[in-house]
Amino acid sequence: MEYRIKGDNLPVLICKLNKDESLKTESGAMIWMSSNIKMNTVAGNVKKMFGRMITGEAAFQNKYTALEDGAEIAFGSCFPGSIMPFEIDEDHPIIVQKRGFLAGTTGIDLSIFVNKKVGSGLFGGEGFVMQKISGKGLAFVEIDGSACTYDLKEDEKLVVNSGYLAVVSSTCKLDIQLIKGVKNVLFGGEGLFFATVTGPGRVILQTMPISSLADSVYQYLPKEEPKGE
Protein backbone atom coordinates (compact mmCIF):
# COMPACT_ATOMS: atom_id res chain seq x y z
CA MET A 1 0.00 0.00 0.00
CA GLU A 2 1.09 3.53 -0.78
CA TYR A 3 -0.39 6.65 0.80
CA ARG A 4 -0.07 10.40 0.77
CA ILE A 5 -1.62 13.11 2.94
CA LYS A 6 -2.63 16.28 1.11
CA GLY A 7 -4.04 19.60 2.23
CA ASP A 8 -3.16 21.94 5.06
CA ASN A 9 -5.78 22.50 7.76
CA LEU A 10 -8.37 20.36 5.96
CA PRO A 11 -6.31 17.25 5.11
CA VAL A 12 -7.22 14.21 3.07
CA LEU A 13 -5.59 10.76 3.21
CA ILE A 14 -5.24 9.15 -0.24
CA CYS A 15 -4.30 5.45 -0.33
CA LYS A 16 -3.35 3.32 -3.33
CA LEU A 17 -3.97 -0.40 -2.73
CA ASN A 18 -2.77 -3.55 -4.42
CA LYS A 19 -5.17 -6.40 -5.14
CA ASP A 20 -6.71 -7.93 -1.97
CA GLU A 21 -5.27 -5.24 0.30
CA SER A 22 -7.84 -3.81 2.70
CA LEU A 23 -8.38 -0.80 4.95
CA LYS A 24 -10.95 -0.35 7.69
CA THR A 25 -12.39 2.94 8.84
CA GLU A 26 -15.19 4.54 10.79
CA SER A 27 -18.44 5.14 8.93
CA GLY A 28 -18.58 8.41 7.01
CA ALA A 29 -14.80 8.86 6.65
CA MET A 30 -14.55 7.82 2.98
CA ILE A 31 -14.62 10.73 0.51
CA TRP A 32 -14.04 9.02 -2.83
CA MET A 33 -12.79 5.73 -4.23
CA SER A 34 -12.17 4.08 -7.58
CA SER A 35 -14.71 1.59 -8.90
CA ASN A 36 -12.38 -1.38 -8.34
CA ILE A 37 -12.81 -1.30 -4.56
CA LYS A 38 -15.38 -3.38 -2.66
CA MET A 39 -17.00 -2.07 0.51
CA ASN A 40 -18.18 -4.31 3.35
CA THR A 41 -19.71 -3.11 6.64
CA VAL A 42 -18.56 -5.14 9.66
CA ALA A 43 -19.40 -5.10 13.36
CA GLY A 44 -17.06 -7.49 15.16
CA ASN A 45 -17.95 -8.88 18.56
CA VAL A 46 -20.30 -7.18 21.02
CA LYS A 47 -17.50 -6.13 23.37
CA LYS A 48 -15.66 -4.27 20.62
CA MET A 49 -18.89 -2.64 19.41
CA PHE A 50 -19.62 -1.37 22.93
CA GLY A 51 -16.07 -0.09 23.34
CA ARG A 52 -16.24 1.86 20.07
CA MET A 53 -19.53 3.46 21.07
CA ILE A 54 -18.11 4.50 24.47
CA THR A 55 -15.18 6.21 22.76
CA GLY A 56 -17.45 8.14 20.40
CA GLU A 57 -17.01 5.91 17.34
CA ALA A 58 -19.76 4.22 15.35
CA ALA A 59 -20.76 0.67 16.34
CA PHE A 60 -20.01 -0.54 12.80
CA GLN A 61 -16.91 -0.13 10.67
CA ASN A 62 -16.43 -0.18 6.93
CA LYS A 63 -13.86 -2.42 5.26
CA TYR A 64 -12.60 -1.50 1.79
CA THR A 65 -10.82 -4.15 -0.30
CA ALA A 66 -9.02 -3.62 -3.63
CA LEU A 67 -10.21 -5.90 -6.43
CA GLU A 68 -7.11 -5.17 -8.53
CA ASP A 69 -3.78 -3.35 -8.30
CA GLY A 70 -3.80 0.42 -8.29
CA ALA A 71 -7.16 0.89 -6.58
CA GLU A 72 -7.44 4.28 -4.88
CA ILE A 73 -9.47 5.48 -1.91
CA ALA A 74 -9.49 8.74 0.05
CA PHE A 75 -10.50 9.52 3.64
CA GLY A 76 -11.15 12.99 5.01
CA SER A 77 -10.69 14.53 8.42
CA CYS A 78 -13.95 15.55 10.14
CA PHE A 79 -12.38 18.66 11.69
CA PRO A 80 -9.67 21.18 10.70
CA GLY A 81 -6.33 19.82 11.80
CA SER A 82 -3.95 17.12 10.60
CA ILE A 83 -3.72 13.39 9.91
CA MET A 84 -0.78 11.43 11.33
CA PRO A 85 0.37 7.87 10.48
CA PHE A 86 1.52 5.41 13.17
CA GLU A 87 3.23 2.03 12.77
CA ILE A 88 1.62 -0.27 15.34
CA ASP A 89 2.96 -3.58 16.63
CA GLU A 90 2.68 -5.68 19.79
CA ASP A 91 5.35 -3.62 21.56
CA HIS A 92 4.09 -0.23 20.38
CA PRO A 93 0.34 0.26 20.87
CA ILE A 94 -0.88 3.83 21.33
CA ILE A 95 -3.65 5.59 23.25
CA VAL A 96 -5.61 8.18 21.28
CA GLN A 97 -8.43 10.60 21.92
CA LYS A 98 -11.97 9.40 21.34
CA ARG A 99 -12.98 9.74 17.68
CA GLY A 100 -9.28 9.97 16.87
CA PHE A 101 -9.00 6.83 14.72
CA LEU A 102 -9.54 7.60 11.02
CA ALA A 103 -8.43 4.49 9.13
CA GLY A 104 -6.03 1.58 9.35
CA THR A 105 -4.95 -1.74 7.89
CA THR A 106 -6.95 -4.81 8.89
CA GLY A 107 -4.37 -5.97 11.46
CA ILE A 108 -5.18 -2.98 13.64
CA ASP A 109 -7.35 -3.60 16.71
CA LEU A 110 -9.43 -0.90 18.46
CA SER A 111 -10.54 -1.10 22.08
CA ILE A 112 -11.57 1.21 24.89
CA PHE A 113 -8.74 2.49 27.08
CA VAL A 114 -9.44 1.76 30.74
CA ASN A 115 -7.35 3.77 33.17
CA LYS A 116 -6.24 1.94 36.30
CA LYS A 117 -7.66 4.67 38.52
CA VAL A 118 -11.44 4.98 38.26
CA GLY A 119 -11.31 8.66 39.20
CA SER A 120 -9.44 9.51 36.02
CA GLY A 121 -12.18 8.05 33.89
CA LEU A 122 -14.94 9.79 35.81
CA PHE A 123 -13.41 13.20 36.42
CA GLY A 124 -10.56 13.57 33.96
CA GLY A 125 -12.70 15.27 31.32
CA GLU A 126 -13.14 14.51 27.65
CA GLY A 127 -9.55 13.44 27.13
CA PHE A 128 -9.79 10.42 29.44
CA VAL A 129 -12.47 8.64 27.42
CA MET A 130 -9.91 7.25 25.01
CA GLN A 131 -9.13 4.48 22.54
CA LYS A 132 -6.32 1.97 22.47
CA ILE A 133 -4.92 1.07 19.04
CA SER A 134 -3.03 -2.22 19.13
CA GLY A 135 -2.34 -5.19 16.87
CA LYS A 136 0.01 -4.90 13.90
CA GLY A 137 -0.19 -2.56 10.95
CA LEU A 138 -0.57 1.07 9.98
CA ALA A 139 -3.06 3.41 11.67
CA PHE A 140 -4.04 6.96 10.75
CA VAL A 141 -5.13 9.32 13.53
CA GLU A 142 -6.88 12.69 13.39
CA ILE A 143 -5.39 15.62 15.32
CA ASP A 144 -7.57 18.67 16.04
CA GLY A 145 -5.69 21.83 15.11
CA SER A 146 -1.89 21.63 15.08
CA ALA A 147 0.18 18.88 16.73
CA CYS A 148 2.87 19.46 19.37
CA THR A 149 5.08 16.47 20.24
CA TYR A 150 6.98 15.82 23.48
CA ASP A 151 9.26 12.87 24.23
CA LEU A 152 9.18 12.37 27.98
CA LYS A 153 12.03 10.77 29.87
CA GLU A 154 11.62 8.31 32.73
CA ASP A 155 9.45 9.93 35.46
CA GLU A 156 9.26 13.22 33.56
CA LYS A 157 5.78 14.73 33.92
CA LEU A 158 3.61 16.91 31.71
CA VAL A 159 0.43 18.59 32.99
CA VAL A 160 -2.24 18.94 30.30
CA ASN A 161 -5.76 20.24 30.00
CA SER A 162 -7.22 16.80 29.26
CA GLY A 163 -9.14 17.75 26.11
CA TYR A 164 -5.84 18.69 24.45
CA LEU A 165 -4.36 15.20 24.83
CA ALA A 166 -4.40 13.58 21.37
CA VAL A 167 -1.96 10.62 21.39
CA VAL A 168 0.06 8.96 24.16
CA SER A 169 2.52 6.07 24.07
CA SER A 170 1.27 3.07 26.00
CA THR A 171 4.42 3.27 28.15
CA CYS A 172 3.22 6.55 29.69
CA LYS A 173 1.14 6.71 32.86
CA LEU A 174 -2.03 8.80 32.93
CA ASP A 175 -3.51 10.32 36.07
CA ILE A 176 -5.40 13.42 37.16
CA GLN A 177 -4.59 16.17 39.61
CA LEU A 178 -7.01 18.52 41.30
CA ILE A 179 -6.40 22.20 40.64
CA LYS A 180 -5.18 23.76 43.87
CA GLY A 181 -6.58 26.97 45.32
CA VAL A 182 -10.20 28.09 45.62
CA LYS A 183 -9.66 31.14 43.38
CA ASN A 184 -8.03 28.99 40.71
CA VAL A 185 -11.01 26.62 40.71
CA LEU A 186 -13.69 29.32 40.76
CA PHE A 187 -12.14 31.91 38.46
CA GLY A 188 -9.38 30.16 36.53
CA GLY A 189 -11.69 28.86 33.82
CA GLU A 190 -9.80 25.57 33.52
CA GLY A 191 -12.26 23.27 35.29
CA LEU A 192 -11.39 21.19 38.34
CA PHE A 193 -8.79 18.76 37.04
CA PHE A 194 -5.72 18.51 34.81
CA ALA A 195 -4.35 15.36 33.21
CA THR A 196 -0.87 14.33 34.30
CA VAL A 197 1.24 12.29 31.86
CA THR A 198 4.37 10.60 33.22
CA GLY A 199 7.11 9.23 30.97
CA PRO A 200 8.83 7.46 29.45
CA GLY A 201 7.07 7.83 26.12
CA ARG A 202 5.77 10.19 23.48
CA VAL A 203 2.93 12.64 24.00
CA ILE A 204 1.18 14.44 21.13
CA LEU A 205 -0.96 17.43 22.05
CA GLN A 206 -3.53 19.17 19.87
CA THR A 207 -4.07 22.93 19.84
CA MET A 208 -7.81 23.11 19.16
CA PRO A 209 -10.02 20.22 20.36
CA ILE A 210 -13.58 20.19 19.06
CA SER A 211 -15.01 20.88 22.53
CA SER A 212 -12.95 24.07 22.92
CA LEU A 213 -13.97 25.33 19.48
CA ALA A 214 -17.62 24.62 20.23
CA ASP A 215 -17.42 26.58 23.50
CA SER A 216 -15.77 29.53 21.74
CA VAL A 217 -18.38 29.62 18.96
CA TYR A 218 -21.35 29.13 21.29
CA GLN A 219 -20.93 32.49 23.04
CA TYR A 220 -21.37 34.29 19.71
CA LEU A 221 -24.50 32.42 18.64
CA PRO A 222 -27.78 34.35 18.89
CA LYS A 223 -29.78 33.36 21.94
CA GLU A 224 -33.50 32.79 21.58
CA GLU A 225 -35.54 35.24 23.59
CA PRO A 226 -38.06 33.65 25.97
CA LYS A 227 -41.57 33.83 24.59
CA GLY A 228 -44.11 35.77 26.57
CA GLU A 229 -47.35 34.22 27.59
**In sequence order, which residues have a C-beta less than 8 Å from that of residue 72 and are 6 or more positions away?**
14, 15, 16, 17, 33, 34, 37
User: Does residue 84 belong to any structural domain of this protein?
Assistant: yes
Residue type, 213: L
Q: How many domains does the chain have?
A: 1
User: Does residue 225 belong to any structural domain of this protein?
Assistant: no
* pLDDT exceeds cutoff 90 at 15: yes
User: Does residue 205 belong to any structural domain of this protein?
Assistant: yes
What CATH code is carried by the domain that includes residue 162? 3.60.160.10
* pLDDT exceeds cutoff 80 at 182: no
User: Does residue 55 belong to any structural domain of this protein?
Assistant: yes
- For residue range 70-102, list pLDDT tens digits in order: 999 999 988 889 999 999 999 999 999 888 999
pLDDT the model gives residue 166: 94
pTM, entire model: 0.80
User: Does residue 100 belong to any structural domain of this protein?
Assistant: yes
- For residue range 118-147, list pLDDT tens digits in order: 444 444 444 467 889 999 999 999 999 999
Poorest-pLDDT segment among 18-22, 105-109, 114-118: 114-118
User: Does residue 98 belong to any structural domain of this protein?
Assistant: yes
User: Does residue 229 belong to any structural domain of this protein?
Assistant: no
- Give the DSSP per-residue string, 114-162: --SSHHHHHHS-GGGSEEEEEESEEEEEEEES-EEEEEE-TT-EEEE-G
Contact 73, 33 (CB under 8 A): yes
What whole-number distance in Å separates Cα of residue 135 and Cα of residue 13? Answer: 21
pLDDT the model gives residue 28: 79
* pLDDT exceeds cutoff 70 at 34: yes
User: Does residue 224 belong to any structural domain of this protein?
Assistant: no
Query: How much is the average pLDDT of 190-217?
Result: 77
Domain range for 114? 2-218
Contact 95, 127 (CB under 8 A): no
